[in-house]
C-alpha cells in the first residue's frame, strides 16, 4: 500500500510539475494571443484603408462616368438645337424668298 501511495504521489508530483509548465505555456500563449490580436487589429486597419481607397477610386470612377454621360447628353442637346436652327434658317430663307417674290409682282 505504501508503495502504491508513493507511486501516486510521484505521479501527482509529475502532474503538478506539468501544471506548472502549462502555466508558463499559457502565459506564453497569452502573449502570442496578444500579438495575434495586434496583428488582427493591424490587418483590420489595413483592410479599412484598402476599402476606403477602393471607395475613393469607385467614387472617382463613378464621377468620371457621370461627367462623360453629362457631356454626351449636352452634345446631343447641342446637336438637336443645331438641327432646329438649320430648320428655322431654311424656313426663314423660304419666307424671305416668298416675300421677295410677292413684292416683285
Instruction: Work out how many domains the chain is built from and give that number.
Output: 1
pLDDT, averaged across the chain: 81
Domain assignment present for 82: no
For residue 104, tell me if it sits in a domain.
no
Domain presence at residue 94: no
Measure the CA–CA gap between 41 and 57, rounded to whole angstroms.
24
99 occurs within a structural domain: no
Range of the domain at 69: 1-74
Q: Is residue 88 part of a domain?
A: no
Q: What is the pLDDT of residue 9?
A: 75
The confidence score (pLDDT) of residue 3 equals 82
pLDDT at 33 over 70: no
| 1 confidence band (pLDDT: 50, 70, 90) | confident
Spatial separation of the C-alpha atoms in residues 68 and 81, rounded to whole Å: 20
At 11-26, the pLDDT tens digits run 766 554 444 444 454 5
Tell me how far apart the alpha carbons of residues 23 and 83 are, in angstroms, rounded to a whole number: 88
In-domain check, residue 44? yes
On the question of pLDDT at 79 being above 90, the answer is yes
Amino acid at each position: 500500500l505504501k508503495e502504491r501511495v508513493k507511486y501516486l504521489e510521484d505521479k501527482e508530483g509529475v502532474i503538478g510539475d506539468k501544471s506548472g509548465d502549462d502555466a508558463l505555456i499559457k502565459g506564453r500563449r497569452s502573449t502570442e494571443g496578444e500579438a495575434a490580436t495586434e496583428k488582427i487589429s493591424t490587418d483590420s486597419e489595413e483592410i479599412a484603408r484598402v476599402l476606403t481607397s477602393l471607395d475613393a477610386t469607385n467614387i472617382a470612377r463613378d464621377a468620371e462616368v457621370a461627367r462623360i454621360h453629362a457631356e454626351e447628353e449636352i452634345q446631343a442637346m447641342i446637336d438637336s438645337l443645331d438641327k432646329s436652327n438649320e430648320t428655322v434658317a431654311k424656313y426663314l430663307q423660304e419666307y424671305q424668298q416668298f416675300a421677295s417674290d410677292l413684292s416683285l409682282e
